[in-house]
């Protein structure tokens, strides 16, 4: 399967617009459309509704596989590149969603300037990789949320933010300046896979507030913010996040509303407990120092 077609497919899925996706990939609109048509012929299924642009049920299923395939290719490329340069030290940085908002690029840039001889490899993490990417040694440090509850993992809190609900713009609560937990607990939430770590699902679904009960489920599954937003914009479910999410993911057809009585939650830098790597220790030190100097704005 042509990787260029996969990249084109994911760009259209995320942008929900063929023109913007083509500009993002530096392709002509006709070339990108050709990629999608070729992919649809190869799969024998229509992947997008064309007006307005949205994923079909087959497209929603394929999006999960396409992202995993590209991630695997990128990981393999990085791994081989590292093997071909055995004398170049590499620090692998995992980032879930937008990480710790504006702090994420600040920390990475500060480390790059402090240790220019160390190669940095950035790895996108899905909701299911809250701890597994660290424990499998795929990454050395990880920007995740909420705080990790695992005796094998060390945690540095980088931000503490208000919770928001991400809802379809057509829903009635989207017009409210704020909501309370009682207003959102009965909403259908986009579903994450069963192997998603419990701390993340508890955070996502406000499990403590609902007394441990499972939420109502939307028809859709997601492992990335983009997949959540695709479902929300189609009016098929709701998601939840930290307040900085709204700055990083403005998405047509969705609205982010503060949940005023929900406990605030952390974004953190997670590392393996007791990791002796000097690069990891320096990265942690820079992250905590910058978090104190440049707190994420509420």
> Is pLDDT above 90 for 105?
yes
Give the percent of the chain with pLDDT over 70. 94
- In order, the DSSP letters of 184-200 are HTTSEEEE--TTS-HHH
Q: Which of 29-33, 75-79, 216-220 has the lowest mean pLDDT?
A: 75-79
CA 94 – CA 143 distance, rounded (Å): 6
Give me the pLDDT at residue 84, please: 55
Quote the CA–CA distance of 192 and 239 in Å, as a whole number.
10
> Please, what are the domains in the chain?
3-69 (1.10.10.10), 88-158+266-293 (3.40.190.10), 163-258 (3.40.190.10)
Q: How many CB atoms lie within 10 A of CB 168?
A: 18
Lowest mean pLDDT among 51-55, 94-98, 221-225, 271-275: 51-55
Q: Please give the pLDDT value at position 122.
A: 94
pLDDT at residue 79, as a whole number: 66
Render pLDDT for 144-184 as a digit per residue (tens, 0 to 9).
Answer: 999 988 899 999 999 999 999 999 999 999 999 999 999 99
Rounded Cα distance between 129 and 187, Å, is: 25
Angle at CA 252, nearest 5°, toward 226 and 161?
A: 60
- pLDDT averaged over every residue in the chain: 90
Give mean pLDDT, residues 188-193.
93
Segment 130-147 mean pLDDT? 92
**43-95 confidence digits (pLDDT tens):** 999 999 988 888 999 988 898 888 778 777 766 766 665 555 556 799 999 99
Q: Per-residue pLDDT averaged across 32-51, rounded?
A: 90
Q: Are 90 and 119 in contact (CB under 8 A)?
A: yes
Least confident piece of the model among 105-109, 145-149, 202-206, 282-286: 145-149
Adjacent-strand bridge partners of 271: 141, 154
Q: How confident is the model at residue 36 (pLDDT cuts 50, 70, 90)?
A: very high
């Amino acid at each position: 399967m042509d990787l260029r077609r996969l990249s084109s497919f994911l760009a259209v899925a995320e942008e929900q617009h063929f023109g913007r996706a083509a500009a993002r990939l530096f392709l002509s609109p006709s070339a990108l459309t050709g990629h999608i048509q070729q992919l649809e012929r190869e799969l024998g299924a229509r992947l997008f509704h064309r007006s307005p642009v949205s994923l079909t049920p087959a497209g929603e299923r394929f999006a999960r596989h396409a992202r995993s395939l590209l991630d695997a290719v990128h990981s393999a490329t990085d791994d081989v590149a590292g093997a071909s340069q055995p004398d170049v030290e590499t620090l692998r940085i995992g980032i879930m969603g937008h990480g710790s908002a504006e702090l994420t690029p600040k920390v990475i840039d500060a480390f790059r300037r402090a240790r220019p001889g160390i190669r940095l490899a950035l790895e996108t993490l899905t909701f299911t990789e809250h701890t597994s990417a660290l424990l499998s040694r795929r990454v050395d440090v990880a920007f995740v949320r909420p705080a990790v509850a695992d005796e094998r993992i060390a945690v540095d809190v980088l931000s503490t933010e208000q919770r928001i609900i991400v809802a379809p713009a057509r829903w009635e609560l989207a017009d409210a300046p704020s909501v309370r937990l009682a207003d959102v607990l009965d909403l259908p939430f986009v579903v994450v896979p069963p192997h998603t770590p419990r701390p993340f699902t508890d955070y996502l679904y406000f499990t403590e507030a609902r007394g441990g009960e499972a939420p109502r489920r939307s028809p859709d599954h997601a492992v990335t913010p983009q997949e959540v937003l695709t479902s929300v914009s189609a009016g098929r479910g709701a998601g939840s996040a930290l307040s900085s999410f709204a700055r990083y993911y403005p998405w047509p057809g969705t609205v982010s509303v503060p949940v005023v009585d929900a406990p605030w939650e952390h974004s953190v830098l997670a590392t393996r407990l007791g990791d002796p790597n000097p690069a990891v220790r320096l990265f942690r030190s820079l992250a905590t120092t910058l978090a104190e100097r440049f707190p994420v704005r509420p």
